[in-house]
Structure 1
Amino acid sequence: MFRPYVLLARLDRPIGWWLLFWPCAWGVALAGGAFARFDLILWMLLGAVAMRGAGCVYNDIVDRDLDAQVERTRGRPLASGAVSLRAAWAWLLLLCAIGFAVLLKLPLIAQGVAVASLVFVAAYPFMKRITWWPQAWLGIVFSWGALVGWAAVAREVSAPMLLLYAGTIAWVIGYDTIYALQDREDDALIGVRSSALRLGRHVRAGVAGFYAVALALWSVAVWIVRPDPLAFVALVPAAIHLAWQVIALEPEDGADALDKFRSNRFAGLLVFLACATVGTGAS
């Protein structure tokens, strides 16, 4: 009875909410709240689970006809008919209600920053129809938590917050390009666009470039928060992990692409530890 709704919100696939949650935690940690505001991190984890689920339901509502044409997605509850469109909308509203409850736990400035993301969230499912870079739009959406996390602790908008956010967008483009490698053939057949198709045989270099930009922007954010060369050392484990993803990636192997994509939950943890080290040392 409940299984189709679990599948519709991808609650059985935690990688999505981990990737949505980590930028939230980075913002909190870099602002100095990794330990002082651990309660806030837990609230953001709940919010990430609920809102990632809501995002998946909304995306499937918009893409239900396209999903039915793609081998990997035709079994999804809406595309297969296991869940009705009306029931999907009701499930979406329930998940949004949980997200709203979390929103009320945030300071006013963080609430405003969080609400501002909704226009980008609403537009995302349509991007694959109009641009070769829907991954960039996903980056705007999935990185937004970095802004919210920082604002919730620092109560201000500042350069480290924006640099952390910009670097996270580059990270998301990189890992979602890897994810899109699984669907290149089907996407090409039905006319759906992606960065994986756009980059073609240069996909490995493209991912490497986006990861390099992410690390460069994160490094500047770290330096502003804590102008100490030793602070850069905190990002070395994350840099090594991202380099491994690029070097070991097998672009023609969908299973390998999925494994590399999923490994970003560990990359997120490494960046969190770096932000916590820097933010705690600076506070």
Structure 2
Amino acid sequence: MIRDSLQPAPAPAEQPLAPPDTQHRGIVARLPRTIRPYALLARFDRPIGWWLLFWPCAWGVLLAGGGDRWGLIALLLAGSIAMRGAGCVYNDIVDADLDARVARTALRPVASGQVSKRAAWVWLVALCLVGLGVLLSLRWEAQVVALASLALVAAYPFMKRITGFPQAWLGLVFTWGAPTGWVAVRGFDGGAPLAALYAGSILWCIGYDTIYALQDREDDAMIGIGSSALTLGRHVRAGVALFYGGAVLLWAAALWLVRADGLALLALLPMAVHLEWQVATLDSDDGGSALARFRSNRLAGLLLAAACYVVGNAGVG
């Protein structure tokens, strides 16, 4: 029965199997056509999403002094890949009607009928079981923190229907790995640097997802859903600069609380320069420019991870 439910509905001959913004190459492109829609549904063709979910996990571990906890970091990476995939499947089930009306998302597997909603739910459960395996490998305090995010995750797909700033809710959800990673190393000890790290991560997420939302402004306005790119209007660049600037200040505070010397601020400088480059070179009227700057946050995450490693490895104060 499960095998039957996982058979995607046949796509029309003239319809491509992948949406137009996919990075449809590599392993995903080599998968059999019967399996490929499920990889696309979980966004395995777009690794930027799980990198953005993973980096806050790594920051929490590294800033907490877990620079030698490579096994834990690998587990959190696996969990990020699985749970980002599960989140995308859930989002597409909820948003199938909206996705079908937006050019960039109309060919997503559920919206286009390549995968039935029933099959999508089965795939969602399978991905969640992988995440559960990772969860059970963590210390109990980290399990509690991770589970506390479930209500936020479940509510996120509906935020764009009721608020003009769904990116703020996404920030709460997509950076929850920061407290999870910290608590996995230190338990509930040392809340001040963690609070600053998490708050800065939320602002970072709002900033980069505002950049991403620039691609959909016309479609979002037409179908009546909210986004920060629409809310900010012609002030998008200034808004992103404000979010990124606030993120850098909060991260500086987090690093300083761990090691109160010039090394903390020096370690953060590459990340600050990179975010400034994103803002300075962003063309808000060019979807390609927005997508490139959005994807560059994979490098931004690595830069902050390096800063957290340097400061956290020197000892948590």
Q: What is the deviation of 1:231?
A: 1.4
2:43 equivalent in structure 1: 10
Bigger fraction of residues in helix: 1
Larger mean CA deviation between 233-242 and 153-162 belongs to: 153-162
Distance 1:228 1:282 in 2: 12
Residues of 1 paired with 2:197 and 2:73: CA distance? 17
Pick one of 289, 293, 304 that aligns with 1:256.
289
Measure, in 2, the Cα distance between the counterparts of 1:44 and 1:129. Answer: 31
In the aligned structure 1, how far is the partner of 2:230 from the partner of 2:264?
Answer: 37
245, 248, 257: which one aligns with 1:224? 257
For 1:98 and 1:170, the matched residues in 2 are separated by: 29
Query: What is the CA–CA distance in structure 2 between the aligned matches of 1:282 and 1:270, rounded to whole Å?
Result: 19
Distance 1:209 1:231 in 2: 22
Task: Give the whole-Å Cα distance in 2 for the aligned partners of 1:163 and 1:156.
Answer: 15
* TM-score (ref. length: structure 1): 0.99
Rounded Cα–Cα distance in structure 2 between residues aligned with 1:216 and 1:165:
12
Aligned AA (1:274)? A
Question: Counterparts of 1:276 and 1:249 in 2: how far apart (Å)?
Answer: 29
Is the contact between residue 263 and residue 311 of structure 2 (CA under 8 Å) also seen in structure 1?
no
The counterpart of 2:71, out of the listed 39, 47, 52, is: 39
Count residues with an aligned counterpart: 282
1:1-283 matched pairs, under 5 angstroms: 1-34=34-67, 36-157=68-189, 158-282=191-315
SS at match of 1:237: helix
Gaps of 5+ in 1: none
- Report the TM-score when normalising by structure 2: 0.88
Counterparts of 2:308 and 2:54 in 1: how far apart (Å)? 14
1: distance between equivalents of 2:53 and 2:105? 21
Shift of 1:211: 0.3
Residue 104 of structure 2 aligns to a residue whose secondary structure is: coil
| Equivalent-residue separation in structure 1 for 2:133 and 2:89 (angstroms) | 19
Deviations 1:45-96 (A, max 9, x none): 0000000000000000000000000000000000000001100000000000
| Aligned counterparts of 2:313 and 2:265: Cα–Cα separation in 1 | 14
Partners in 1 of 2:139 and 2:271 — Cα distance?
Answer: 30
**Residue deviations 1:94-151, cap 9 Å, x none?**
0000000000111000000000000000000000000111000000001100000000
Q: Percent identity, aligned pairs only?
A: 66
Counterpart of 1:271, as a letter, is L
Q: d(CA) in 1 for partners of 2:179 and 2:280?
A: 31
8 Å contact from structure 2 (residues 38, 123) kept in 1: yes
Deviation at 1:30, TM superposition (A): 0.1
Q: In the TM superposition, what is the alpha-carbon distance from 1:230 to its structure 2 partner?
A: 2.3
**Distance in 1 separating the partners of 2:263 and 2:99:** 48
Mark the structure with the bigger radius of gyration.
2
Distance 1:273 1:254 in 2: 30
Letter in 2 for 1:54: A
SS in 2 for 1:235: helix
Name the SS for the 1:132 alignment partner: coil
Deviating 4+ runs (over 6 angstroms)? none
